[in-house]
């Protein structure tokens, strides 16, 4: 049933380019808001349009600097709540703090849950995100959560780049990514391989073994997040050592911190394909091995269907 009120899309400061592309798909302008700083560094937000009774969508990736972007998102929600918006929807292409989604030692936090609590307290009534680090993060919210996947975009790209898939193998970079890789393998009708990885400490990994046959094939590593690119570079090298013809990577969120760019450039990767959920730095944009595909259609369709109270099922692959 068509909604009786309109919707507006606001942009946080983390990913203005993606917001503009989403609004271009929706054929409407980005709504106006002032996002600034006071002299002491506190974030200053002022909504410049009437939002009373409107469905509001705020696009903001909580990517580095994570704390600044997260705090800005919370403050925008508070401003919209106090301006009497009918609903406040957080469109978070990349959900930061998601990798701490369970206790891994005796006295450690679960930050993915903490961020969910903060967002609900701030006034958000729904969350739309893409390829969260773990599916169970949806359960950390007591408000509706729509978990989109980049797989439709990646699958379209792979089918164009690899029209013949008999010599393609989909590779999971670790045991945790097997379900994701198997879904790609099933839809592309390819074989599957798994890298057995150990992580002795945060942002460090070791490749221990390879399960599956990659000899003479084009290996496509499928992952959700690339941070320092150590896992990606080591995994690509292991695949080459086992006889892979060429190695490519399809990874959703390009955090690319620390030595990530230099590792990708020095690696045996032919190409690393990312989405635009996190904007690339100037250094990453200059790297010839990195290519970006857009997600504006998925987010634009999600926004339209949520506003119209229509099903999102067909957006999930």
The residues carrying an active-site annotation are 197
> Residues 6 or more apart from 201 whose CB is under 8 A from it?
none
**Are 217 and 239 in contact, with CB atoms under 8 Å apart?**
no
Tell me the two tokens of residue 306: 């949520």
CB 109 within 8 A of CB 98: no
Tokens of 150: 């980049």
Q: Which residues contact 107 (CB under 8 A, 6 or more apart)?
A: none
Q: What residue ranges in the chain does DSSP mark as E strands?
A: 7-11, 33-37, 43-47, 55-59, 87-92, 126-130, 145-148, 168-172, 191-201, 204-211, 218-226, 246-254, 271-275, 290-293
Q: Which residues contact 73 (CB under 8 A, 6 or more apart)?
A: 12, 58, 60, 62, 90, 92, 119, 122
Decide if 249 contacts 221 (C-beta within 8 A).
Answer: yes
* Neighbouring residues of 103: CB distance < 8 A, sequence distance ≥ 6: 110
Sheet holding 290-293, edge to edge: 204-211, 191-201, 168-172, 218-226, 246-254, 271-275, 290-293
Asked if the bond preceding 285 is cis, omega within 30° of 0, the reply is no
Q: Are 275 and 296 in contact (CB under 8 A)?
A: no
């Amino acid at each position: 049933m068509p909604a009786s009120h309109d919707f507006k899309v606001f942009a946080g400061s983390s990913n203005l380019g993606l917001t503009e592309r989403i609004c271009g798909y929706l054929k409407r302008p980005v709504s106006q808001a002032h996002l600034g700083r006071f002299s002491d560094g506190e974030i200053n937000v002022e909504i410049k349009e009437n939002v009373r009774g409107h469905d509001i969508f705020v696009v903001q990736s909580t990517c580095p600097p994570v704390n600044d972007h997260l705090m800005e998102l919370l403050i925008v929600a508070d401003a919209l709540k106090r301006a009497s918006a009918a609903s406040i929807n957080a469109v978070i292409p990349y959900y930061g703090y998601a990798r701490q989604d369970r206790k891994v030692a005796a006295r450690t936090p679960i930050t993915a849950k903490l961020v969910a609590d903060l967002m609900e307290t701030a006034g958000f009534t729904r969350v739309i995100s893409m390829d969260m680090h773990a599916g169970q993060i949806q359960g950390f919210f007591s408000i509706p959560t729509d978990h989109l996947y980049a797989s439709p975009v990646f699958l379209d790209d792979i089918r164009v780049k690899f029209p013949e898939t008999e010599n393609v193998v989909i590779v999971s970079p670790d045991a945790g990514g097997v379900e994701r890789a198997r879904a790609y393998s099933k839809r592309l009708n390819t074989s599957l391989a798994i890298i057995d990885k150990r992580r002795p400490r945060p942002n460090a990994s070791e490749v221990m073994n390879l399960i599956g046959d990659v000899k003479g094939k084009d290996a496509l590593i499928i992952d959700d997040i690339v941070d320092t690119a150590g896992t990606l570079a080591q995994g690509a090298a292991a695949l080459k050592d086992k006889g892979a013809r060429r190695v490519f990577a399809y990874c959703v969120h390009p955090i690319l911190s620390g030595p990530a760019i230099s590792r990708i450039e020095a690696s045996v990767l032919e190409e690393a394909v990312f989405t635009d959920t996190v904007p690339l730095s100037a250094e990453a944009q200059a790297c010839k091995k990195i290519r970006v595909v857009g997600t504006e259609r998925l987010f634009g369709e999600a926004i339209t269907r949520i506003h119209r109270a229509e099903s999102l099922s067909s957006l999930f692959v």
